[in-house]
Amino acid sequence: MNIPENLKYTNDHEWLKIDGNIGYIGITDYAQGELGDIVYIDIPDDITEVKKGESCGTIEAVKTVSEILAPVSGKVLEVNRKLNDAPDTINKDPYNEGWLLKIELSNPAEANDLLDAKAYKALIG
């Protein structure tokens, strides 16, 4: 199980990579493994901001649909639309090419509430 040390994690299996005041959001390796083969990503075309803990889209796998919950609040700068044509990228590379949203953090302190890699490992056992 791949759990990069440089990321922050939520109890709902999203990850956050912070670079200055820019954040990248995705789902963890554990989450993609639990979902199975991902077949569709639904992030609204008109999404302009995300709020911590609120849904910002869904991920559809062969067996289930799961909500994507924002780990922090911010202005949406980019949606990874490459996933529209290749949603299985999340299965293959959840932490790099499989990112979902790029945001400008509106309250960087919210990241302090997230789990570090050690705490996330403990969460998933």
What's the pLDDT at 41? 97
What's the pLDDT at 122? 97
What's the pLDDT at 63? 87
What's the pLDDT at 26? 98
Q: What is the CA radius of gyration of the chain?
A: 13
Domains and CATH numbers, the chain: 8-113 (2.40.50.100)
**pLDDT single digits (tens) 15-67:** 999 999 999 999 999 999 999 999 999 999 999 999 999 999 999 999 899 99
What's the pLDDT at 1? 83
CA 17 to chain centre: 9
**pLDDT single digits (tens) 62-112:** 989 999 999 999 999 999 999 999 999 999 999 999 999 999 999 999 999
